[in-house]
């Protein structure tokens, strides 16, 4: 690469590598050690980046969708070429098992390719007139400079769900990754640089979230904010957006129910519960947080599920065969243990786990299964964001739908049943942006993703993924013959 090869990794501003700012240290949660650092930018630097992005807007939006798509394909090629290195970096900064880091890279490439193709399909409409001599069109145009704020749990792919559609739609984009996981975004910036994007069109801003966020919110040249993270910070940004009526997309917290009916294929349901609960150590917005099992198969499910949970290997994400890495930090383990203790105090049975994993660092938690968990305990109300599976029994379909929907969140839900009518009925009744029916991994580039209720505003991915980056303009022609 042609950026400085200091141990402090540079950020990427207006087409150039910049390592002038104070260093942000990056900790590997498996070892607790600093393994890299990244340069940062302050509020004034953010202001300059927004100005540079705005200057690049006209040139970028005036390219054809096909031309912008070619750049996106070139970025995808660059990421694909370095997939192993990027997957490893994700594992080091986030802690997840390497195979999951590599999976994230694969999905990232697919997102870029999807939006490279969607760039050609930002269709408008010809609208029938109702008055002689008139003709109407609705066209779609890029919204302008986008501030994209991303979380640490899927540091690359969730950033790209914003960056790729923004670029495809003709918007310059400023990416602010989470401070815990900025390195995969540096590698993304390298792929962008190699792809030869015009300067200012993509920039990487690492640094203090409040400073960068405040400038994005208060600077009128930044027309749109797309945020993925906690509902708490999302609410704060929604409040801040009011002054300028800033356009927003919000991907916020989740609290997914997973419902297993007596007529389910039990082995598939157990597998589904394992994947939705323990992938990424449970640190996923679509992780199953509440597992509801119908009475007739309750104990049988628990026996199979606990056997598999106990067999999961916990360790450094880069070690062979590891299923669950560390949580992002030791404080996250403390929160999870508080949730476990509260559940036990309110009558839950602990079937496995519940403690820090022996012989590993302070950020590792055992895979934990709780049974007979009551609805009013903490882990049934809040995101646990850890490998903690609370299981609860139910009797009737109506009852479980009511319990599943009794939350302010509405991001994802899962149902396991072999009864087609029930699958349809329950999927329609669940208040969630995504419902997996006998499917633990529903998310894919070509389908819309996002939350109902307090889980968010707008949709990412799918053909809807461009919508948040486009304005609709009505053009009316008078005096037509
Ligand atoms: P977070 O604390 O809300 O942080 C998310 C991002 O926002 C980070 O880049 C963070 O920067 C930044 N940020 C924090 N305070 C800010 C402020 N005042 N102004 C502007 N930016 C600010 O969330 P997280 O802990 O990283 O992520 C976990 C949460 O994200 C969970 O609730 C999870 O469910 C949710 N999530 C949702 C989705 C979805 O698609 N709906 C996907 C994944 C995760 P710093 O890191 O520098 O603080």
CATH 3.40.605.10 fits 8-252+455-475, yes or no: yes
Mutational test site, ligand 1, from 24, 107, 151, 443, max ligand atoms within 8 Å of CB: 151
> Is 178 in contact with 204 (CB distance < 8 Å)?
no
Over residues 51-94, the pLDDT tens digits come to 999 999 999 999 999 999 999 999 999 999 999 999 999 999 99
Ordered strands of the 247-251 beta sheet: 16-18, 11-13, 202-204, 173-176, 145-149, 222-228, 247-251, 456-457
Q: Which residues of 431-453 are buried (b: 16+ CB within 10 A; e: fewer)?
A: bbbbbbbebbebbebeebbbbbb
> Is 277 in contact with 369 (CB distance < 8 Å)?
no
Among candidate residues 93, 104, 118, 285, the one labeled active-site is 285
Above 70 in pLDDT, residue 10?
yes
Above 80 in pLDDT, residue 168?
yes
Above 90 in pLDDT, residue 2?
no
> If you average pLDDT over every residue of the chain, what do you get?
97
pLDDT value of position 7: 78
Using DSSP's 3-state secondary structure scheme, residue 300 falls into: helix
Residue 189 CB burial class (10 angstroms; 0-12, 13-18, ≥19): buried
| The overall pTM is greater than 0.85 | yes
pLDDT-derived band of residue 481, with 50, 70 and 90 as boundaries?
confident
> Is 254 in contact with 277 (CB distance < 8 Å)?
no
The Cα–Cα gap between 143 and 169 comes to 8
Above 80 in pLDDT, residue 186?
yes
Taking residues 113-129, report their average pLDDT: 97
Q: Among residues of the chain, what percentage have pLDDT more than 70?
A: 99
Among candidate residues 251, 383, 431, 460, the one labeled active-site is 251
Q: 199 alpha carbon to ligand 1 midpoint, in Å?
A: 27
Q: 114 alpha carbon to ligand 1 midpoint, in Å?
A: 25
Mutational test site, ligand 1, from 230, 433, 465, max ligand atoms within 8 Å of CB: 230
pLDDT-derived band of residue 393, with 50, 70 and 90 as boundaries?
very high
Identical fold for domains 8-252+455-475 and 256-444, yes or no, is no
Residue with tokens 């609860």: 392
- Domain 256-444: which topology? Aldehyde Dehydrogenase; Chain A, domain 2 (3.40.309)
End-to-end CA distance of the chain: 60
> Is 162 in contact with 460 (CB distance < 8 Å)?
yes
Above 50 in pLDDT, residue 136?
yes
Tokens linked to 272: 């589904």
pLDDT value of position 1: 45
Which residues are CB-neighbours of 319 under 8 A, at least 6 positions away? none
Residues having CB within 6 Å of any atom of ligand 1? 149-153, 158, 176, 178-180, 209-210, 213, 228-230, 233, 236, 251-254, 285, 383, 411, 451, 455-456
Over residues 222-267, the pLDDT tens digits come to 999 999 999 999 999 999 999 999 999 999 999 999 999 999 999 9
341 catalytic? Reply is no
Closest alpha carbon to 332 in 291, 359, 361, 358? 361
> Is 201 in contact with 167 (CB distance < 8 Å)?
yes
Over residues 329-370, the pLDDT tens digits come to 999 999 999 999 999 999 999 999 999 999 999 999 999 999
Q: 257 alpha carbon to ligand 1 midpoint, in Å?
A: 22
pLDDT value of position 322: 98
pLDDT value of position 27: 97
Domain parsing of the chain, residue ranges: 8-252+455-475, 256-444
54 catalytic? Reply is no
pLDDT-derived band of residue 5, with 50, 70 and 90 as boundaries?
very low
Q: 230 alpha carbon to ligand 1 midpoint, in Å?
A: 5
């Amino acid at each position: 690469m042609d950026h400085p090869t200091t141990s402090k990794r540079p950020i990427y501003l207006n087409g150039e590598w910049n390592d002038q700012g104070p260093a942000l240290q990056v900790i590997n949660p498996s070892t607790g050690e600093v393994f890299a650092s990244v340069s940062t930018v302050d509020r004034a630097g953010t202001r300059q980046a927004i100005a540079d992005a705005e200057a690049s807007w006209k040139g970028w939006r005036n390219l054809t969708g096909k031309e912008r798509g070619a750049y996106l394909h070139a970025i995808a090629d660059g990421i694909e070429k370095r997939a192993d290195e990027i997957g490893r970096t994700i594992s080091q900064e986030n802690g997840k098992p390497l195979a999951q880091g590599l999976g994230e890279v694969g999905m990232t490439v697919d997102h870029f390719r999807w939006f490279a193709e969607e760039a050609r399909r930002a269709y408008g409409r010809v609208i029938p007139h109702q008055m002689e001599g008139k003709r109407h069109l609705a066209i779609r145009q890029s919204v302008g400079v986008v501030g994209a704020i991303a979380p640490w749990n899927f540091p690359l792919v969730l950033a790209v769900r914003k960056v790729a559609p923004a670029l495809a739609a003709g918007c310059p984009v400023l990416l602010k990754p989470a401070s815990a996981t900025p390195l995969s975004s540096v590698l993304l910036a390298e792929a962008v640089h190699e792809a030869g994007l015009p300067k200012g069109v993509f920039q990487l801003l690492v640094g203090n979230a409040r400073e960068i966020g405040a400038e994005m919110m208060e600077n009128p040249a930044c027309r749109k904010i797309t945020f993925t993270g906690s509902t708490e910070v999302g609410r704060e940004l929604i409040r801040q957006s009011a002054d300028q009526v800033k356009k927003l997309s919000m991907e916020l917290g989740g609290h997914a129910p997973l419902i297993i009916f007596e007529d389910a294929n039990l082995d598939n349901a157990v597998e589904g519960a394992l994947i939705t609960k323990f992938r990424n150590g449970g640190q996923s917005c679509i992780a199953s947080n509440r597992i509801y099992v119908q009475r007739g198969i309750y104990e049988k499910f628990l026996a199979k599920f606990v056997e598999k949970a106990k067999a999961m290997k916990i360790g450094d994400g880069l070690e062979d065969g590891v299923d669950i890495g560390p949580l992002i930090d030791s404080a996250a383990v403390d929160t999870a243990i508080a949730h476990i203790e509260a559940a036990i105090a309110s009558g839950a049975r602990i079937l496995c786990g519940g403690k820090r994993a022996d012989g590993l660092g302070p950020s590792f938690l055992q895979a934990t299964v709780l049974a007979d968990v009551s609805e009013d305990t903490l882990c049934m109300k809040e995101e646990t964001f850890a490998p903690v599976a609370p299981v609860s029994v139910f009797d009737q379909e109506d009852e479980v739908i009511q319990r599943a929907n009794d939350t302010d969140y509405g991001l994802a839900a899962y149902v396991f049943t072999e009864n087609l009518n029930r699958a349809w009925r329950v999927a329609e009744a669940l208040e969630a942006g995504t419902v997996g029916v006998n499917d633990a991994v529903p998310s894919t580039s070509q389908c819309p993703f996002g939350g109902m209720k307090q889980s968010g505003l707008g949709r990412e991915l799918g053909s809807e993924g461009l919508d948040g980056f486009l304005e609709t303009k009505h053009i009316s022609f008078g005096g037509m013959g």
